[in-house]
């Protein structure tokens, strides 16, 4: 499943970069985070428990920074696992703008697959949920 979008935010490119590239900063923007374990600057794990149509679905997500261009682009590869389900996500985020305080444009694309009980949400519902979650994180990072 694939989803993509763009969002104008009222934060500079530098602010967005610092908040999206630091796991501790990112922690406050992620929904339903219960715990973050940082391994090194390019990998961390997050315990999340998002609400879905199936109720709360706790999930350990291992995140690896696969590509980074300082201040403008990051590619994250994520693998999550829970009781009877797992998920994989590749997320690319690009920041556009001249770096002023008026804000920037954030473009994103995601490729995801869900197995087990999470796949019961249906391929028509999952892209909307994914887009909502990504844009929610981006809005939270901008504030």
* pLDDT band per the 50, 70, 90 thresholds, residue 72: very high
Selected residue with higher pLDDT from 96 and 51: 96
> Nearest 5°: phi and psi at 11?
-140, 145
Residues 6+ positions from 94 with CB-CB distance below 8 Å:
72, 73, 106, 107, 108
Tell me the domains of the chain and their CATH numbers.
Answer: 2-142 (3.30.530.20)
The mean per-residue pLDDT over the stretch 62-80 comes to 92
Q: What's the rounded Cα separation, in Å, for the pair 137 and 131?
A: 10
Selected residue with higher pLDDT from 112 and 93: 93
pLDDT given for residue 121 in this prediction? 60
């Amino acid at each position: 499943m694939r989803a993509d979008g763009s969002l104008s935010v009222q934060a500079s490119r530098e602010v967005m970069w610092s908040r999206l590239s630091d796991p501790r900063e990112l922690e406050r923007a992620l929904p339903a985070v219960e715990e973050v374990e940082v391994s090194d600057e390019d990998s961390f794990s997050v315990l999340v428990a998002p609400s879905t149509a199936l109720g709360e679905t706790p999930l350990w997500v291992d995140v690896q920074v696969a590509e980074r261009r300082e201040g403008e682009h990051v590619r994250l590869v994520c693998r999550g696992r829970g009781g009877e389900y797992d998920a994989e996500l590749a997320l690319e985020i690009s920041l556009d703008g001249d770096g002023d305080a008026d804000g920037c444009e954030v473009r994103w694309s995601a490729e995801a697959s869900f197995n087990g009980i999470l796949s019961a949400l249906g391929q028509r519902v999952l892209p909307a949920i994914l887009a909502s979650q990504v844009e929610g994180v981006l809005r939270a990072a901008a504030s």
